[in-house]
Amino acid sequence: MAPKKQNRQNLIPVAGEIRRLPTPRTGRKQSSLKSALSRQRVTLEDLHNSRERIQLKTLQRKISLSPPSDRRPPEKLGDFLPQWFQAHVTKTGDVLATASETLQATLPEKLWHSIAFGPLQRGLLTLYCSCSPAKVEVDMLLRPGTPGLRHLQIATKGLIFKVKTVVDRARSTG
């Protein structure tokens, strides 16, 4: 038993002499390394938790029969069609009727019978003429800055601001 006591006595002073070994200077303190490691662990745990949350949400969406919240339920055709017809067909028809009356008063009768109305898109009215001389005359009367175009713009409340003339014998009425 005596040798055991000596070993204990020898160990105690040796344990008291243990010091930290000097760390190589890397520009960081040991405490900052610990905090960086703990931050990294928290970040990894957060990523794991967020992945689980995303998986849970997608699973809930698949299980539930309701559509995702970012989509509106589709409208019934009976509710949608009258609104669309009013906005696109009736309004354009009214504008073209007003433009027709204005052009009939502005253009000579011979030119009036040689043109046909085309589409009205984004304020550009297309007029189809039966021949090149009629196209040139209509174009001269309805160029930007002329009184004919100004009367047309005023009558249609600015919905027509430019007129394009095209020669097309098949579409013209003359």
pLDDT at 151: 92
Q: What is the pTM of this model?
A: 0.52
Domains and CATH numbers, the chain: 92-167 (3.30.300)
pLDDT in tens, 42-85: 455 665 667 777 776 776 666 665 655 566 666 677 777 888 88
Closest CA to 155 of 78, 99, 96, 94: 99
Report d(CA 90, CA 153) in Å as an integer.
19
Give the other-Cβ count within 10 Å of 119's Cβ: 10
Report d(CA 53, CA 131) in Å as an integer.
71
pLDDT at 138: 93
Query: For 81-90, what is the mean pLDDT?
Result: 83
pLDDT at 53: 72
Q: Which two tokens stand for residue 116?
A: 């046909």
Give the range among 30-39, 141-150, 153-162 with minimum mean pLDDT. Answer: 30-39
pLDDT at 105: 92
Residue 88 has pLDDT above 50, yes or no: yes
Helices and strands, number each (H, E), in the chain? 7, 3
Query: For 161-167, what is the mean pLDDT?
Result: 93
Residue 141 has pLDDT above 50, yes or no: yes
Query: For 22-45, what is the mean pLDDT?
Result: 53
* Mean per-residue pLDDT over the chain, rounded: 75
